[in-house]
Amino acid sequence: MIKEQIVNLIFSLNWFIFLLNLFIFIFSKQIIEYLDTSDLEWKNPSEHQIDMMKRKRKFLIIINSLIFLWYFISLFFKLEVVNKFIAVLAVILFAFLIWGLLIRGVVSIYWEKIDINGETYIKKWYKTRIFSLLTIILVVIVTFYAVIDVLWFQSWLQNGWFIWWLLAFLWFTAPVWATDMFSSILILHSWKIDLWDVIKFEIDGEKKIAFIKHINLSDIMLVDLVYWNPILIRSSAFRNLKIVNLSRNIVWQRSKNIKQIIEAKIWYEFDLEQIKELFNYAFTLMLENEENKKYFPEDILNKIDVQIKDFWDFAVVYQLIYEISSPFYIIKANRLLNIYLQKAQKKFNIEFSTPELFVEQKCN
């Protein structure tokens, strides 16, 4: 009788769980080391990371041991509750491993490379943290559902009570979280908008230049470059804005130097060469101050230019073209340059025809 019972159990699902559990038990160290992302992030894990790996391996061994214990009990006692315990422990074990694989995948996809002493590492950042959180929530929901199915609550699932309750909850709360959450996920997944990007946009009829400080699952936090005050916009509303990303080039890589144009309306009595001389003098005078050099590329004097854009009835529209070293300096560099352009006007006795002289533009 006992022999027949053992044979039946060996060829049951418990047998498969036992062998898989044995494999995981033997190679627990290697599995934990692979699931840990320290090898992606750092060449040498910190003490905290090593301690976390030890705790994870200890958890894995505890689950392994419990499965072994209940498996051997099932060989001698044909109790349904024993099989349920084995199945629940197996679900928890598989959920732990799948969670580790998914987290490693998230870190591998949403990474940021940094160089330390000539070595390249992958750094966890906000995208990694947010998508890791979503992964944990998904794994917890699926695991909870599987455990309920295994235990004595199949009737909840069979009559649909649990599913209908969950769907009703999601339906009635969706207007609060769904639109913004999905908008945030789309923004996070896109490589066209990212943290620390300087953007130009219009909201409530007012034009603004700001950089992106935070992106979460409900809203976007910006910092206005003019007043340095925070701007909070819901993710769904942010996606509806017309945005000019000043930090990216046409292939969506970060731009090192940002080209700027100042439009000046000047009387016909002056020619192009005189305006070029004025513009060069303003820059030369400005760069005599060492503090001012950080706002512009090192070879800025070779990159400035003056072009004629249009001819008006009483003035020629000139474009004064230059570059700044960072989009964060758009406001500061432009206002600084205005000061020295005014000084150059007085020296060359060239007056700009209108008080509304300077228009900040992004070169296409």
> Which H or E element spans position 278?
helix 272-287
Query: In this predicted structure, what is the pLDDT of residue 238?
Result: 92
- 170 dihedral zone (left: phi>0; alpha: psi -120 to 50; beta): alpha
- Among residues of the chain, what percentage have pLDDT more than 90? 27
Least confident of 152-156, 160-164, 247-251, 343-347: 152-156
Does the pLDDT value for residue 114 go beyond 60?
Answer: no
Least confident of 43-52, 98-107, 241-250: 43-52
Span 54-71, average pLDDT: 78
Residue 289: band (very low, low, confident or very high) from pLDDT cuts 50, 70, 90: very high
- Cβ partners under 8 Å of residue 220, min gap 6: 184, 187, 212, 214, 232, 233, 234, 235, 238
Sheet strands side by side (includes 243-245): 230-234, 219-224, 206-215, 198-203, 243-245
First-to-last C-alpha distance (Å) of the chain = 84
Least confident of 63-77, 134-148, 228-242: 63-77
Contact indicator for 212, 195 with CB cutoff of 8 Å: yes
Least confident of 66-75, 93-102, 235-244, 284-293: 66-75
Torsion over CA: 118, 119, 120, 124 (sign): negative
SS3 content of the chain, % helix, strand, coil (to 5): 55, 20, 25
- Cβ–Cβ contacts within 10 Å for residue 341, how many? 22
Torsion over CA: 241, 246, 247, 250 (sign): positive
pTM comes to: 0.62
Query: In this predicted structure, what is the pLDDT of residue 198?
Result: 93
Residue 1: band (very low, low, confident or very high) from pLDDT cuts 50, 70, 90: very low
Hey, which residues does 233 pair with through a beta bridge? 220
Span 254-272, average pLDDT: 88
